[in-house]
Chains A and B, each alone.
Chain A
Amino acid sequence: MPEQQQRSMIEIKNVTRSYGAFKALDDASLTIREGEFFSLLGPSGCGKTTLLRMIAGFDNPTSGSISVGGQPMEGIPANRRPTNMVFQSYAIFPHLNVEQNVAYGLKRLKLQGGEEKRRVEEALAQVSLTGLGKRLATELSGGQRQRVALARALVMRPKVLLLDEPLSALDKKLREQMQVELRRLQQAVGITFVLVTHDQYEALAMSDRIAVMFGGRIAQVASPKEIYQRPVTRQVADFLGGMNFVKAQIVEESGASLVVDTLGFGRIKTDKPKAFVRNGGGATLGIRPERLRVLWDNATAKFEVAGKVVERHYFGEITHLIVEIPGLEKPLSVTETNDFGADDIPVGTSIRLAYDPEALVAMAD
């Protein structure tokens, strides 16, 4: 697999899509590798669906180029591209039953000797729908429709499977179950999956790599862990969950690192993000709420800050504490699991928080 993953499957070069003065996609460049689960993540209107539809052939770039499997896609209509799509609404043909839906694309290939039937059954088995072939689309639940859409696309054995927010219509529990199943399926079939989603947890849980997009531009492309832990901009950090932002003064700047002074956390040496643009002497650092730990009783840590609990929010397995730190303009948000009694800390208590300086990352505003 690792060797295979080096080969690129989709090349997106300087793609722009404008509607009049509005740019849905602005000079986006991206390489998606063969056999990887790639997610396009961003808020609505960020251009992620536009990009997916251009890969599928339902839309064309105003400028720039897209190639799939080394073949330039310019001028190739959607019905002749080596891609297949799972639509957000699933687009199950209502006048056909499950089997006929899955066999839809195969009919045209005129397969010989029961090959069509075999492939349909194989695809239905892949999505655990064996035995439901004769059901009408109208008799299926949301999760089942989703599986039919998946089988219908997979049965075509595309080079790339495109998924347009496939889980957004499912309830939370089913969604989480399908995330695991989709990931498992992708690893079993080895096809390149490109997923469009606005749900950061979905992207983090399923992808090999994620591209985070805002306003038609790609902000960062990296593995889920890196995107979460080392977001390059404040926007990316914010979109991927809670983040405490801390203002800092730059003391020293070298090629790859920064030394900064903060009010609450003292002097910190940190990696310099790629997109970092020095804006006077100031910088922004961020630390995730779960990277701050409450120090109980007399416990000590090498790095700690002291403050006072001003708010407490209970979430079942975790508690959110809002802690005011003298010198910091905004109180810190701290996530603590409830196994040690964080849910019993009264508001107004003075506490100390431990942190790892490595968890404080510098980012562009």
Chain B
Amino acid sequence: MTAAAEGSPPLRMTRARRNALLQSEPVQGLALISPTFIYALILLVLPILVVIAHSFWTQHYLTIDRTFTLENYRVALTEPIYRDLLWRSLYISLTVSLLTVLLAYPIAYFISFHGGRHKSLWLFLITIPFWTSYLLRVMSWKVILGYNGVLNSGLMGLGIIDEPSTALLYNSSAVIITLTHAWAAFAILPIFVSLEKVDRTLVEAATDLGDGPLRSFLRVTLPLSAPGVISAALIVMIPTVGDYVTPKLVGGKDGVMIANAIQAQFGKASNWPLGAALSVTTMLIVTLMAGATVLIIRAVQRLAR
């Protein structure tokens, strides 16, 4: 009896404390994200750790030598072929994100400012291309850009060119065109959201203070929608650096990107450590580039004031 009596108050206290702990906001938040978090941990962080580990090892035909070496990074950074592929990937992804943002902004602006009652209809229409597989969309660009493709026949029909141009397909321009089209919706949506948040009376106030439509856009609407532009640029840039399918299908010899090389190392060449080193290098460069983009856009935004 006494033992139970003595034992129960601390027990009740811990239970109360545990309940309080379970009901606290941080704990509930963690509980909410933990399934996703564990999933991501197992399927994202662990593979990345495996890749990072491999990048410091060496492949000897069928076995892997686990002594620490930086040789793979030396190859990745100094071999001309990998350097060229990396540069080309960066160039393509930067060009694609720039073009996508430039093309997406007017569309997002139109929907947000002139969409009227049909805003959701417009947004719905933009998602229509996603009803088909990405492969099909890339293939249709092949049909458009190909030797006997829509574009060539059209241009020939109009008498602008005499024979089909081979400059349209199987080069980096084809990759850029295809990727720009494929990622347009991902750029339109964040820009649209940030434009929706721009208080329309601010534009009126700018007009009232003497600004014409272009000036008020440059001084008020554009700086206030910069967060959307930044996220659009990043959303497009980060995945396109490592895109593998598009260069494979429409890139030809001149459109090969770093991801194709990485795939080759993990596949045919069977040199996992070099593939891993290339992956890690690409990841680091993309991180730096994303950071630089944010900083540059912020600086431009500050200058524009």
Contacts and interface: CB of A to CB of B under 8 A. Distances in A.
Contact of B305 (A80, A87, A95): A95
Contact of A96 (B207, B210, B216, B305): B305
Contacts of A94: 202, 224
B20 to A, nearest CB: 35
B121 interface: no
B223 A89 contact: no
A152 B209 contact: yes
A79 B223 contact: no
B224 A84 contact: no
A78 interface: yes
Given A95-B223, A96-B305, A89 B201 contact: yes
A210 B209 CA distance: 27
B205 A58 contact: no
A104 B209 contact: yes
B199 A89 contact: yes
A91 B199 contact: yes
Interface in B197-231: 199, 201-202, 204-212, 215-216, 219-220, 223-224
A93 B205 contact: yes
Given A79-B212, A95-B224, A104 B201 contact: no
Nearest to B224: A95
A94 B219 CA distance: 12
Interface in B100-146: none
Contact of A156 (B206, B210, B215): B210
A83 B301 CA distance: 29
A84 B208 contact: yes
B204 A84 contact: no
B82 to A, nearest CB: 42
Given A94-B224, A95-B223, A104 B199 contact: no
Interface string A15-53: 000000000000000000000000000000000000000
B305 A100 contact: yes
Interface residues of B, number: 20
Contacts of B219: 104
Interface in A93-109: 93-96, 100, 104-105, 108-109
Nearest to B211: A79
Interface in B139-167: none
A360 interface: no
A56 interface: yes
Interface residues of A, number: 24
Among A77, A105, A153, which residue has the most Cβ atoms of chain B within 10 A? A105
Nearest to B215: A108
A79 B210 contact: yes
Nearest to A149: B205
Among B201, B208, B223, which residue has the most Cβ atoms of chain A within 10 A? B208
A79 B29 CA distance: 50
Nearest to B198: A94
B202 A58 contact: no
A85 B205 contact: yes
Contacts of B216: 79
Nearest to A162: B208
A89 B208 CA distance: 14
A91 B201 contact: yes
Nearest to B212: A79
B286 to A, nearest CB: 29
B212 to A, nearest CB: 6
A84 B211 CA distance: 12
A96 B223 CA distance: 10
Among B204, B210, B212, B223, which residue has the most Cβ atoms of chain A within 10 A? B210
A359 B223 CA distance: 59
Contacts of A105: 209-211
A79 B202 CA distance: 13
A78 B208 contact: yes
Contacts of A91: 199, 201-202, 204-205
11 contacts: A77-B212, A79-B207, A79-B209, A87-B201, A93-B202, A93-B206, A94-B202, A95-B224, A95-B305, A96-B305, A109-B210
Interface of B: 199, 201-202, 204-212, 215-216, 219-220, 223-224, 301, 305
Given A79-B211, A91-B205, 10 more contacts: A58-B207, A58-B208, A78-B207, A80-B210, A85-B204, A87-B201, A91-B202, A91-B204, A93-B202, A95-B223
Chain A to chain B: the 6 pairs with minimum beta-carbon distance, closest first: A105-B209, A91-B205, A91-B201, A85-B208, A78-B207, A79-B207
